[in-house]
Amino acid sequence: MAGHPAIHFMSSLAVANLRAAFPALQESGDRKPFIYFDGPGGTQMAQQAIDGMLAYITGGMANLHGAFPTSVGTDNLLLEGRKAVADLLHCAPEEVAFGQNMTTLAFSIARSLGSFLSAEDEVVVTEMDHRANVDPWVTLANDKGAQVRFLELDPNTYTLNLDKLDELITEKTRLVAIGMSSNVTGTVTDVRRVIARAKEVNAIVVLDAVHAVPHLSFDFKELGSDILLCSAYKFFGPHIGIAVIATSLFEKLQVYKLAPAPQQIPDKLETGTQNHEAIAGLIGAITFMEQLGEGKNRRERLVSGMQRIEAHEQQLTARLDSFLRQVPGLKLYRAAESVYKTPTFAFTIPGIKAREVTSWFAENYHMCIADGHFYASTMAEKLGVNPMGGWVRIGLAPYNTMEEVALFEQGLKEFMKTKGKY
């Protein structure tokens, strides 16, 4: 995680080149592309990912472990997929397992942690997280009769209250599940502090990096969490989930699996046949990110590519942040300047349902903007946004431009005027 904008801002030429890699952004015939502000829900797919999927499908598909070329090729594809993720997140290739999506992987990991937990133990989750990083661990705790404790969201600062970590995470804590950054407010949590405390009491740390991996560079080894979960459809690839599990823990996991299926890591977590074409697409998505950067090897190019993404997004963020903070009649759910944030903004307009805003933008400005609680439902309840249909969420991706942000601002002023609010 870089934690601050890098020096290499992307020039408008570089952003134009980057946009060229996304077929969904191109005009063709009478098709006018949308302006996509729904990155946190899922980004558009890079050409390199599409090419990877097509090459696998058209080149002859196969199942694993056969003597014939397409099967050997598929074995190699999985190996290559693990190596590509290992370079992206800085872990060992055998620590990388694939699955349907983050949620499904979290549930199967939770099920395989049964023997780690007893009724005297405690599990810590947060009030800010997407429920995919809450409910699998709460279900596990309930199955074992263990206690669940919540790391509280401060409703005024939109950050987690880390001051009480020592009281919350104790000798009884066996597992701590924490999000790297909120998929609603963009708040990036100082997970290092949480990991350090969890490690003092030997608790397992699960990091939900689904919303962070598209925006920040990662170093799994250096962070020291035991499990990291993310999803490729949030970073320019196809719909496939990724789990990174530290070898020492992964080897001990008692997964629910078929008796004759492989016992070794990482295969033992990958029940049934994987989505090979999605793994081919994931490699392509990582290639796209790598090609944005510079360096001697893939890891270096990925770190540099991610820093460029981050720097570009933070430029757009600075503009949108100062605009949204001064729109009268709009409530912005955004942490203070001193807190690092992803380019994800959530707001409400009192008296107006979130869906009315997003439908208006889709109709009048051809913009894809999402609304709802985004499965961060504990936070939605605590902040009282459910009666308004949740938040309106603008999520920026590296293919968004200053012009698009300016157009959104124009649209929002127009919308507010139609409501007599601007």
Ligand X SMILES: Cc1ncc(COP(=O)(O)O)c(C=O)c1O
Summarize as ranges the residues that interact with ligand X (CB under 6 A). 40, 101-103, 130, 132-133, 179, 183, 208, 210-211, 231, 241
Of the candidates 242, 282, 255, 258, which has an alpha carbon nearest to the alpha carbon of residue 43?
Answer: 282
Indicate the residue among 184 and 349 with the shorter CB distance to ligand X: 184
Residue 297 DSSP label: S
Indicate the residue among 237 and 411 with the shorter CB distance to ligand X: 237
Indicate the residue among 121 and 129 with the shorter CB distance to ligand X: 129
Q: Is the peptide bond before 266 cis (omega within 30 degrees of 0)?
A: yes
Indicate the residue among 195 and 278 with the shorter CB distance to ligand X: 278
At closest approach, how far in Å is the CB of 180 from ligand X? 8
Residue 208, SS3 per DSSP? strand
CA 38 – CA 29 distance, rounded (Å) = 24
Contact 350, 363 (CB under 8 A): no
At closest approach, how far in Å is the CB of 396 from ligand X? 15
Indicate the residue among 101 and 275 with the shorter CB distance to ligand X: 101
Indicate the residue among 172 and 239 with the shorter CB distance to ligand X: 239
At closest approach, how far in Å is the CB of 246 from ligand X? 20
Indicate the residue among 189 and 304 with the shorter CB distance to ligand X: 189
Indicate the residue among 189 and 231 with the shorter CB distance to ligand X: 231
At closest approach, how far in Å is the CB of 179 from ligand X? 6
At closest approach, how far in Å is the CB of 40 from ligand X? 6
Query: Within 10 A of 162 (CB to CB), how many other CB atoms are there?
Result: 17
Q: Is 336 exposed, middle or buried (0-12, 13-18, 19+ CB in 10 A)?
A: exposed
Its sign, for the CA torsion 277, 23, 88, 373, is negative
Residue with tokens 């780690």: 116
At closest approach, how far in Å is the CB of 297 from ligand X? 29
Contact 75, 67 (CB under 8 A): no
Q: How far is CA 205 from CA 38, 224, 251, 301, 336, in A?
A: 29, 9, 16, 28, 27
Q: How far is CA 323 from CA 239, 301, 319, 409, 416, in A?
A: 33, 33, 6, 7, 14
At closest approach, how far in Å is the CB of 238 from ligand X? 11
Indicate the residue among 230 and 292 with the shorter CB distance to ligand X: 230
At closest approach, how far in Å is the CB of 177 from ligand X? 11
Indicate the residue among 55 and 368 with the shorter CB distance to ligand X: 368
CA 281 – CA 87 distance, rounded (Å) = 16
At closest approach, how far in Å is the CB of 62 from ligand X? 26
Residue 67, SS3 per DSSP? coil
Indicate the residue among 231 and 401 with the shorter CB distance to ligand X: 231
| DSSP strand pairing (96-99 vs 241-245) | antiparallel
Residue 353 DSSP label: -
At closest approach, how far in Å is the CB of 230 from ligand X? 8
The end-to-end CA distance of the chain, in Å, is: 39
At closest approach, how far in Å is the CB of 101 from ligand X? 3
Contact 240, 282 (CB under 8 A): yes
**Cross-strand bridge partners of residue 395:** 38, 344
CA 341 – CA 297 distance, rounded (Å) = 29
